[in-house]
Amino acid sequence: MSLTPELRRDMYRQMLRSRAFDDAMIGLYWVGKTPIFAFANGPLPGELHCSNGAEPVGAGVCAALDADDMITADHRPHHVAIARGVDVRRMAAELLGKKTGLSQGKGGHMHIYAPEVNFASSGIIAEGMAPAAGMALARRLQKRPGVALTFMGEGAANQGAFHEVLNLVGVMKLPFICVVQDNEWGVSTSKKESTAVERNSDRASAYGMAGEYVASNDPDDIYEAAARAMARARSGGGGTILELRTARLAGHFMGDQQAYIPAQMKQADPIPPYRAKLVAAGVLTEAEADAIAAAATAEIAEAVAFAQASPYPAAEEAFDHVFAA
């Protein structure tokens, strides 16, 4: 698929849907909590890691995928899940621990599972590497179409699983793409203090893979790079490390005091410049851009209302679905 006006409008829409979702979840998260007691009770239990600033990654990469392609993601998965087509009503219910959630409220926001769109996420750093490679190998053995992608932060590239899996991908030339989302911070540790190389995409050469770096945090550029990686994987050319320079507009999690984050990073919102770019190119009018934003806000508000009105699972259901039948 080429970078058509329709595709660009949809990427903009996905970015706004993701931002609206995270903004709504942030509002719910702080109900019943204070910065001192950030994990206390409230409608949204547990931690919350939001995707604000990384929306172009989800929108741009997922626009290049087919229905057969498979995704594993990390503890900050909302932007990818939404762009991939995960049901936002059931996703909101999952975050609120409701029975109508994707996993009946038992997974929470870091463990989003939506097999109908081949999506799963995990809170364990780099945990999605091996399952995604296994999916790629399974599709090859089954002679079925599908490229496997895993999304992770740049800090996860220093985990052993990253290197072990990429070596296997390189040996077997699996249809696999490792999307490294580089926001320069692993929790509160800067990339410069933790990583020996400037570009994780350069590590691809050690495993006989392709590596590509995109510096812009622009969904157009991300889509085109993802499309190249997808074409390579589909044609038998093997895997790619696709490193995308993105942003994290706030702390690692809700309650993070954020003292380590430079002011310019908090100001690196990718949505206004992309809107301006599309309007300048005649892809959108200002009125159309406003309408997309209003529709995204209304959709997420309805999803939150659905989640809030949904019942909690019964206590006796806690031990259901622990093992596969």
Write the burial class of residue 259 (CB in 10 Å: 0-12 exposed, 13-18 middle, 19+ buried): exposed
Cβ-based neighbours of 140, under 8 Å, separated by 6 or more: 174, 175
As a three-state string, the secondary structure of 64-90 is CCCCCCEEEECCCCHHHHHHHCCCHHH
The span from the CA of 58 to the CA of 92, in Å, is: 18
Place of tokens 């350069």: 202
Which one, of 304, 261, 299, lies nearest residue 16 by Cα? 299
Query: What are the DSSP calls for 222-278, one per residue?
Result: HHHHHHHHHHHHHTT---EEEEEE----S-SSTT---TTS-HHHHT--SHHHHHHHH
At 146 the pLDDT is 97
At 159 the pLDDT is 92
Q: 197: helix, coil or strand? A: coil
At 325 the pLDDT is 67
At 83 the pLDDT is 98
At 213 the pLDDT is 98
At 61 the pLDDT is 98
Q: 119: helix, coil or strand? A: strand
Low-confidence ranges of the chain (pLDDT < 50): none
- First-residue to last-residue Cα distance in the chain: 40
Place of tokens 């909590």: 33
Q: What residues does each domain of the chain span? A: 5-31+51-310
Helix 5-29 / helix 55-62 crossing angle, nearest 10 deg: 140
The span from the CA of 305 to the CA of 308, in Å, is: 5
Write the burial class of residue 194 (CB in 10 Å: 0-12 exposed, 13-18 middle, 19+ buried): middle
Q: What is the pLDDT of residues 147-201, one digit of tens each?
A: 999 999 999 999 999 999 999 999 999 999 999 999 888 877 778 888 889 999 9
At 37 the pLDDT is 59
Cβ-based neighbours of 287, under 8 Å, separated by 6 or more: none
The pair of structure tokens assigned to 197 is 């190389």
Instruction: Provide the CATH topology of domain 5-31+51-310.
Output: Rossmann fold (3.40.50)
Q: How far, in Å, are 13, 139, 308 from residue 304 at the CA level?
A: 18, 36, 6
